[in-house]
Chains A and B, each alone.
Chain A
Amino acid sequence: MKKTLLLLLLPIFLFANFFKFEPIKITKDISCFIGAYDPILKSNKGFVSNVCYIDMGNFLVLLDASSTYNFAKELNAFIEKSTHKKIKFVVITNYHDDRLLGASFFKEKGLKIIGASNMLKLIKAHPDTYKRTFDTLSKDLMKNTKIVIPDMLVDKKLEIKGSKKNIYILKPSLGTQSAADLIVYSPKDSFIFTGNTIFNGRFVNYASDSNMNEWIKALKFIQSKNAKYVMGGHGKRFDANSYKPTLEYLQMLKNA
């Protein structure tokens, strides 16, 4: 009896998903998934930064890929089922583990990975960034997860053209929280995804390679776009003023 029960339950364990996705709809073409507010822990399975997708009409663009191959694989299946469309490009807004490592799934599928032109240099310079993820998360969850490098590099601006709209991958200054931070602007949706240039839900992390003046410059650039929706790399705020707490804190620290 016990053996029969185990055999019946085995497929459930074998094919159980690690993640349950609860997207937030920003516009009719944009949805986001909000990461946990803590650093990478076993309990959050490495999903600690926001991930969004934009429907371009004839394909989708994914913005950031979280920390694991398994997250990306399950997210891809969820998005394909919800939209009946395929992801064609994956934008990685900085070199950190919590945004880059999931790109290993998309790289394996042959999708184009987009990152800042200085990303490779920063990946090589910061090996501990990736070690913490592999040390923290289980081997099962980390299976197939690798450090991958982008196929398309952005110096200042890259345009992606879809059948319904064009979007812009921008490097608004020399560096913000890291030297490789990108933002994604969709004028038609009045939407900006900012990666680590904006922190909400968790306190700003001014790192040793952050750049105070250039970070403020990037925030003012975001402000100048007057976008209706501004989604940071952390936190669930996506209103037009969501950049303000980060800007205010940086200006206070600069004046101290």
Chain B
Amino acid sequence: MLKNQVLKAHDEDIDPADLEKYVHTDKFKDIPHYNELYLRNARHYFDQLEWQ
């Protein structure tokens, strides 16, 4: 579902709240560099889906 939203409106930023429904932040948020990377990781992955 989230990936479809991203593909439809890929110019917009990913909503962290949407992403957190799927990627459990409680498991990862204390790992160094989580905040810098989690949205960027999702963008890279969804961009790849767009090209497929």
Q: Which residues of B contact A254 (CB under 8 A)?
A: 45
Proximity string of chain A (181-200) to chain B, C-beta cutoff 8 Å, 1 when within and 0 when not: 00000000000000000000
Encode B23-52 as 1/0 by CB contact (under 8 A) with A.
110011001111011101110110110000
CB distance from B4 to the nearest CB of A (A): 11
B37 & A248 in contact (Cβ 8 Å cutoff): no
Task: Please indicate the chain B residues that have their CB under 8 angstroms from the CB of A201 in the complex.
Answer: 31-32
Of the candidates B3, B24, B37, the one whose C-beta lies within 8 Å of that of A252 is B24
**A–B complex contacts, Cβ < 8 Å, 22 sampled:** A37-B32, A201-B31, A203-B31, A203-B32, A203-B33, A203-B38, A204-B37, A204-B41, A206-B40, A206-B42, A206-B45, A208-B47, A212-B45, A245-B27, A245-B28, A245-B31, A252-B22, A252-B23, A253-B42, A253-B45, A256-B2, A256-B23
Chain A residues touching B, majority SS = loop
Q: Is A82 on the interface with B (CB-CB < 8 A)?
A: no
Chain A 128-143 per-residue mask, 1 if CB under 8 angstroms from chain B, else 0: 0000000000000000
Cα–Cα, bound, A215→B41 (Å)? 14
- Classify chain A: how many residues form its interface, as a range: 20 to 34
Cross-chain contact A212 with B3 (CB below 8 angstroms) = no
Residues of B within 8 A of A (CB): 2-3, 19, 21-24, 27-28, 31-34, 36-38, 40-42, 44-45, 47-48
Q: Are A206 and B34 in contact (CB under 8 A)?
A: no
Chain A contacts for B37, CB-based, 8 A: 203-206
Give 1 or 0 for each of A243-256: 1 = CB within 8 Å of chain B CB.
00100110011111
Residues from 134 to 183 in A contacting B, C-beta threshold 8 Å: none
Docked Cα-Cα span, A245 to B19, in Å, equals: 18
